[in-house]
Amino acid sequence: MKVGRRSFLRSASAALVGLSLKGGHPIEGSFVNDNFQMGHLLRDRAPFAAPKRNEKVSVVIVGGGIAGLSAAWRLHKRGFRDFVLLEMNAQAGGNARWGENEISAYPWAAHYVPVPGRQAVYVRELFEDLGVLQDGHWNERYFCFAPQERLFLFGRWQDGIEPAVGLRQKDRDQFQRLEDLLANHRASGGFTIPLELGRSQKDAELDRISFAEWLGRQGFDSRLLLWYMNYACRDDYGALAGATSAWAGIHYFASRPEEEKGPLTWPEGNGWITRRLLERVGEQVRTGQMVHRIVPSARGLSVFAGDMEYQADFVIFAAPSFLAPYLMEGFPHLHDFVYSPWLTANLTLERLPDSRGAEPAWDTVFLDSPTLGYVDATHQSLRTHIDRTVWTFYWALADGEPADGRRLLLSTDWNYWKEAILHDLERVHSDIRQCVSRIDVMRMGHAMIRPAVGSIFSEERRRITRRDPRSRILFANSDLSGISIFEEAQYHGVEAAQVVLEQLGGRR
Amino acid sequence: MGVLLFISVLLVAACGLIYELVAGTLASYLLGDSVLQFSTVIGTYLFAMGLGSALSRFLVRGLVYQFVWIELMLGVIGGFSSAALMLAFAYTQGFGLLLYALVIVMGVLVGLEIPLLMRIVRGRYQFRDVIAHVLTFDYLGALGASLLFPILLVPRLGLVRSAMLFGLVNVAVALWSTFLFGDQLVRARGLRIACLAVFCVLGAGMLNAKLITAAAEDNIYADDIIFSRDTKYQHIVLTRFKDDLRLFLNSHLQFSSRDEYRYHEALVHPGLSSIPAARRVLVLGGGDGLAVREILKYPQVESVTLVDLDPEMTRIFSTNPMLTALNHDSLRSPKVHVINADAFPWLDSNTDSFDFIVVDFPDPTSYSLGKLYTTAFYRAAARHLSVQGMMVVQSTSPMFARDSFWCIVATLKQAGLHTYPFHVYVPSFGEWGFVLAGLHDYHPPAALPAGLRFASVQGLPALFQFPPDMALLPMPPNRLNTQVLVRTYENDWKDISH
């Protein structure tokens, strides 16, 4: 066999790399919070045991994510206690779950809420309840501290994620033109949070093409601009711009006023909100309760979970809507509900790695990385000296079809993702392997609803969002909006609770 | 004999190059501008070698005898050249003069070596072989020396000992020559004794090189470093020059014992004297115990809580005799409670109230330190003020960092506090600023503790006057989510240093 000079050099350098790795300490960790086994039982219509006990309760909330917890919050706040919330996982919170180790609390998914505008009435009300908003003033400790975001590109750091380094005149012109276009959409009032308040037929055209196509039609071809647009879609929707409705792409930028304060955030991300909600409604929350069947009954609905049958007047269905056909006989299969697969990981760092001279920021992103970068859990700490920390690493598997991403998640082991994550981080933090002691990985096949082309104005979506009290089942998941953000989940949860309260209020 | 002869050519050449490199390196170390220093040193050295070669024609008799003496002289001059230059730099004004005098003398001597050697051996070989062999080994020696010098000699031996080592080599060659060319010598014995004597002198120099280096360096760096330690949090360096002790944290000067009384008297007395019945005082930062020393001048003060991040800092200022003499052993006073904690979380976790709070942190050079200069921090601190309480905040220089100073004032105002900015001249710092802040108005004190060296009741009003070049600038407050102060501070000092 002839060994070429190139291949010799390659294997020689690989050998050297191997030698240097041997010196590092072992990195521990595993997959955590896996729940696809339970989901697959439903999908495969596995037989479930007959109930041993039954309980009469006025309202059953299915799903303990932000939508379900918000419905519970609203019921509880109105003095209504005759409800239970059933959560499949061991921990409530859904995409606002959190973890904690001896260093810090850290998020498992959503990690911030932008300062809500005037229209987000329920969010503002919640934040007043939680002391985030006091007498019209936001608690300054919950604003994300400076420096907030940094992007690594062309061998250096910049503040903020919108590329500002290495732009040619053409790039600058296109960023400016896009900003002008988005400002018009912002001013039009058609792009609001909650989305339902502003959504208007006059923008329906935008839902018929992808965001990538819209950008192309507007003549945008700047590489950095398109990277940024794709980053935004991956970050909020888990999809590339080509798989995202143009309406949703524009909504990302046009739904919020330009503001300087930065988002509201906590060490455990939106887990902080989950914790505060659980402090209020925790007594009604039952975790580890997988609902496997919902059938009409004399009273209203029977909800089967584990060995329990709950006889309820109303069900607030706050779990992902795509599960409904698997739980309810005769419920039509849903076509307009596409979900993005995701992976998050929490890395325990025994010391801060070499960051090429930059001070740590809250959110770190690398240009052209397939991942979304990481968020530093100790960033909101008031300490001046931080030696150990936790990074939450985000990776939307946006390339290819969602089913491909799900298959990849199921067919790979923890080591595969450990290496992939470290490999990505090593591009900037060369000594990362010497700093990390643990990597826990959470895989989510249906992490968030994807605002695919046509999904925002979908007739099917409108039908199940109608919340007709006669059906006794009220949908509440954020997937009703077509985008998965805290505000939408909370809006639908509270709205569903409102319908229930109106109905039951009449009878009590 | 041939091989031995040419090895001595090689060694002689190596010595010559080493002396040249030592001179060039020292000149660029000590004078800077290495391109200029190396160029002029090498140029002069080569010219002097040419001069030596030219002069070699005047040596006609007793060539071996002359050669041995040249080697001995080179051994002494070259061997001690490095030490002499360092001492000259440290103790005299004549470094440049000595440098070029040495370069010329060494150059001339080195220039004499090769022509003399060639003439000594010319009877034994054909002329063309002499030229070829001598020059070959000459250049080989130069190559070896030029590689050895940066890779092995400077890092392992240092400049002083490297030069001496090659001085010994010169002497060895001299001694060896008395045997090699013994047939051409009449009085070899005397020469050998001289060789041994020089050998001993250089050997002694080698053994004591550390002393020479230390003596020189002590004078190059104005002050003795008496303490230097990397703690978990910072790099602490203490220096002393005569009666002046200086503390540096991460290379930033924290105080000079000659004028720190101005800083600490101004920090403590205008505020603390204005609170008649102050009993409980909190000091945040200030692990040097100097502010505490001033606070303990008030007999009515019952307790002083000092919160400093770094246990090493409070430890050395409680134990080192020079430092406890400076802070009057304040940290070991029974009234003083030292807590090693991060100040901001400590304020949140503690519920005590204090009549006077001293906020004495390093300047806001980073986002982490910047947190200690925010509205959120001052609100947290203000929650610990008693009804009559006031705080004073170290606020960087209103002269050099005018924007930063007024940004800190704006931040305290935004936190709902009444502010009374003032400034003081501290020679080792320059014009320095503080802000008194409280939930009520400030009434200047009618009396100050006895025995102060700087602060006086009559002098106080002037401290609160800001001349136009330090006057109020409208600045936004510093908040956790903007940290405008860190950027402002960076720009302020950039403007000064460029």
What is the per-residue pLDDT across A375-421, written as a single tens digit (0 to 9) for each?
Answer: 999 999 999 999 999 999 999 999 999 999 999 999 999 999 999 99
Distance (Å, rounded) from C-alpha B416 to C-alpha B410? Answer: 10
Q: Which of residues 247-266 of A touch B (CB under 8 A)?
A: 260-262
Share of chain A above pLDDT 90, in %: 85
Residue B222 has a pLDDT of 56
Out of B369, B481, B483, the one facing A384 most closely (by C-beta) is B369
Distance (Å, rounded) from C-alpha B403 to C-alpha B413? Answer: 15
- Angle of CA points B35, B37, B43, to nearest 5°: 95
Contact between A143 and B479 using a beta-carbon 8 Å cutoff? yes
**pLDDT confidence band for A16 (50 / 70 / 90):** very low
pLDDT at A178 over 70: yes
Residue A293 has a pLDDT of 95
Out of B368, B376, B482, the one facing A141 most closely (by C-beta) is B376
Smallest CA–CA distance from A149 into chain B, residue: B481
User: Please, which residues bridge with residue A392 across strands?
Assistant: A346, A375
Residue that has been written with the tokens 């440049």 in this structure:
B96
Size of interface A-B (CB pairs under 8 A): 60
Contact between B368 and A384 using a beta-carbon 8 Å cutoff? yes
Query: Which stretch, B116-130, B230-244, B469-483, has highest mean pLDDT?
Result: B469-483
Characterize the bridge pairing of strands A59-62 and A156-159. unpaired
Q: Which of residues 346-405 of A touch B (CB under 8 A)?
A: 359, 381-387
pLDDT tens digits along A72-103: 999 999 999 999 999 999 999 999 999 999 99
Distance (Å, rounded) from C-alpha B365 to C-alpha B343? Answer: 17
**pLDDT confidence band for B212 (50 / 70 / 90):** confident
Contact between B371 and A145 using a beta-carbon 8 Å cutoff? yes
Alpha-carbon torsion B193, B199, B201, B203, what sign? negative
Cβ(B147)–Cβ(B14) below 8 Å = no
Long-range contacts of A330-337 (CB under 8 A, 24+ apart): A334/A460, A334/A464, A335/A460, A336/A452, A336/A454, A336/A455, A336/A458, A336/A460, A336/A461, A337/A449, A337/A455, A337/A460, A337/A461, A337/A479
More confident residue, B184 or A450: A450
Contact residues on chain A for B378, CB-CB shorter than 8 A: none
Number of other residues whose CB lies within 10 A of the CB of residue B80: 20
Query: Which stretch, A39-43, B243-247, B474-478, has highest mean pLDDT?
Result: B474-478
Residue A34 has a pLDDT of 87
Q: What is the mean pLDDT of residues B47-69?
A: 90
Residue A2 has a pLDDT of 44
Out of A140, A147, A382, the one facing B479 most closely (by C-beta) is A140
Number of other residues whose CB lies within 10 A of the CB of residue A422: 17
* Report field, pTM of the whole predicted structure over 0.95: no
Residue ranges of domains in chain B, CATH in brackets: 2-220 (1.20.1250.20), 261-497 (3.40.50.150)
Out of A140, A382, A387, the one facing B348 most closely (by C-beta) is A382
Contact between B233 and A145 using a beta-carbon 8 Å cutoff? no
Residue A3 has a pLDDT of 44
pLDDT tens digits along B124-154: 788 888 888 888 988 999 999 999 998 888 8
Instruction: Exactly one of B355, B360, B363, B403 is catalytic; name it.
Output: B360
Alpha-carbon torsion A64, A65, A71, A77, what sign? positive
Q: Which of residues 95-154 of A touch B (CB under 8 A)?
A: 140-141, 143-148
Residue B121, CA distances (Å) to A131, B87, B100, B126 in order? 98, 40, 32, 10
Distance (Å, rounded) from C-alpha A234 to C-alpha A398? Answer: 6
Q: What is the mean pLDDT of residues B221-249?
A: 80
Residue B283, CA distances (Å) to B66, B262, B299, B303 in order? 75, 18, 17, 11
User: Please, which residues bridge with residue A376 across strands?
Assistant: A391
Residue A1 has a pLDDT of 42
Residue A18 has a pLDDT of 44
Residue A17 has a pLDDT of 46
Cβ(A118)–Cβ(B459) below 8 Å = no
Out of A144, A261, A385, the one facing B368 most closely (by C-beta) is A385
Contact residues on chain A for B367, CB-CB shorter than 8 A: 145-147, 359
B286 Ramachandran zone, left/alpha/beta (phi>0; psi -120 to 50):
left
Residue B155 has a pLDDT of 78
Cβ(A265)–Cβ(A141) below 8 Å = no
pLDDT at A19 over 80: no
Name the helix (H) or strand (E) containing A431: none
Give the closest-approach CA distance of B346 to chain A in angstroms.
9
- Of A95, A80, A186, residue with least CA distance to A490: A95
Residue B497 has a pLDDT of 61
Distance (Å, rounded) from C-alpha A492 to C-alpha A477? Answer: 6
Share of chain B above pLDDT 90, in %: 62
End-to-end alpha-carbon separation of chain B, Å?
64
pLDDT at A133 over 70: yes
Out of B232, B369, B481, the one facing A140 most closely (by C-beta) is B481
Distance (Å, rounded) from C-alpha B329 to C-alpha B321? Answer: 9
Number of other residues whose CB lies within 10 A of the CB of residue A156: 12
Q: What is the mean pLDDT of residues B35-54?
A: 92
Residues 6+ apart with CB under 8 A from B178: B64, B68, B185, B188, B191, B192, B195
| Number of continuous H segments (helices) and E segments (strands) in chain A | 16, 20
**pLDDT confidence band for A47 (50 / 70 / 90):** confident
Contact between A382 and B371 using a beta-carbon 8 Å cutoff? yes
**pLDDT confidence band for B310 (50 / 70 / 90):** very high
**Best of A383, A387, A389 to mutate (most B CBs within 10 Å, chain B):** A383
Query: Which stretch, A43-57, A253-267, B124-138, B360-374, has highest mean pLDDT?
Result: B360-374
Distance (Å, rounded) from C-alpha B154 to C-alpha A362? Answer: 45
**Best of B235, B307, B378, B481 to mutate (most A CBs within 10 Å, chain A):** B481
Residue B72: both structure tokens together: 């001995």
Distance (Å, rounded) from C-alpha A223 to C-alpha A207? Answer: 24
Residue B485, CA distances (Å) to A300, A359, A365, A432, B405 in order? 61, 15, 25, 31, 9
List, in sequence order, every beta strand (DSSP E) within B224-360.
224-230, 235-241, 244-249, 252-256, 280-285, 303-307, 336-339, 354-360
Please provide the DSSP assignment of B394-463 as one string: E---TTTTHHHHHHHHHHHHHTT-EEEEEEEEETTTEEEEEEEEESS-----S---TT-SS--TTTHHHH
Name the helix (H) or strand (E) containing A51: none
- A163 preceded by a cis bond (ω within 30 of 0): no
Contact residues on chain A for B348, CB-CB shorter than 8 A: 382
Residue A104 has a pLDDT of 97
Residues 6+ apart with CB under 8 A from B388: B275, B276, B277, B278, B355, B440
Q: What is the mean pLDDT of residues B15-43?
A: 86
Residue B220 has a pLDDT of 54
Specify the CATH number for A37-100+266-334+452-507; select among 3.50.50.60, 1.10.10.10, 3.20.20.140, 3.40.50.300.
3.50.50.60
Give the closest-approach CA distance of B370 to chain A in angstroms.
9
- Mean of per-residue pLDDT scores for chain B: 90
Give the closest-approach CA distance of B483 to chain A in angstroms.
6
pLDDT tens digits along B270-299: 999 999 889 999 999 999 999 999 999 999
Residue A380: both structure tokens together: 């909101």
Half-sphere exposure of B466 (CA within 13 A, CB side): 20
% helix, strand, coil for chain B, step of 5: 60, 15, 25
Q: Which of residues 310-369 of B touch A (CB under 8 A)?
A: 342-345, 348, 366-369
pLDDT at B331 over 50: yes
Share of chain B above pLDDT 70, in %: 97
- Angle of CA points A351, A356, A361, to nearest 5°: 65
Q: What is the mean pLDDT of residues B174-197?
A: 85
**Could you give the residue ranges of the DSSP H alpha helices within A156-300?**
169-188, 195-198, 211-217, 223-237, 246-254, 271-281
pLDDT tens digits along A462-482: 999 999 989 899 999 999 999
Torsion angles phi and psi, residue B447, rounded to 5: -150, 155
Q: What is the mean pLDDT of residues B104-115?
A: 92
Distance (Å, rounded) from C-alpha B110 to C-alpha B19? Answer: 10
Which region among A348-362, B78-92, B367-381, B430-444 has the lowest average model confidence (pLDDT)?
A: B78-92
Active site residue B360: yes
- Of B97, B45, B105, residue with least CA distance to B74: B105
- Of A368, A370, A363, residue with least CA distance to A405: A370
- Of A289, A306, A292, residue with least CA distance to A51: A306
Give the closest-approach CA distance of A391 to chain B in angstroms.
18
3-class secondary-structure state, position A96? helix
Name the helix (H) or strand (E) containing A142: none
Q: What is the mean pLDDT of residues A313-317?
A: 97
**pLDDT confidence band for B48 (50 / 70 / 90):** very high
Torsion angles phi and psi, residue B40, rounded to 5: -70, -40
Which region among A14-18, A207-211, B165-169 has the lowest average model confidence (pLDDT)?
A: A14-18
Q: What is the mean pLDDT of residues A316-325?
A: 97
**pLDDT confidence band for B218 (50 / 70 / 90):** low
Half-sphere exposure of A434 (CA within 13 A, CB side): 10
Contact between A146 and B376 using a beta-carbon 8 Å cutoff? no
pLDDT at A508 over 50: no
Smallest CA–CA distance from B361 into chain A, residue: A384
Cβ(A96)–Cβ(A274) below 8 Å = yes
Residue A392 has a pLDDT of 98
Residue A23 has a pLDDT of 47
pLDDT at A13 over 60: no
Boundaries of every domain in chain A? 37-100+266-334+452-507
pLDDT at B221 over 70: no
Residues 6+ apart with CB under 8 A from B18: B78, B145, B148, B149, B153, B162, B163, B166
**Best of A141, A384, A386, A389 to mutate (most B CBs within 10 Å, chain B):** A384
Characterize the bridge pairing of strands A373-376 and B336-339. unpaired
Contact residues on chain B for A147, CB-CB shorter than 8 A: 367, 483
Q: What is the mean pLDDT of residues B154-164?
A: 85
Smallest CA–CA distance from A362 into chain B, residue: B481
pLDDT at B57 over 50: yes
pLDDT at B34 over 50: yes
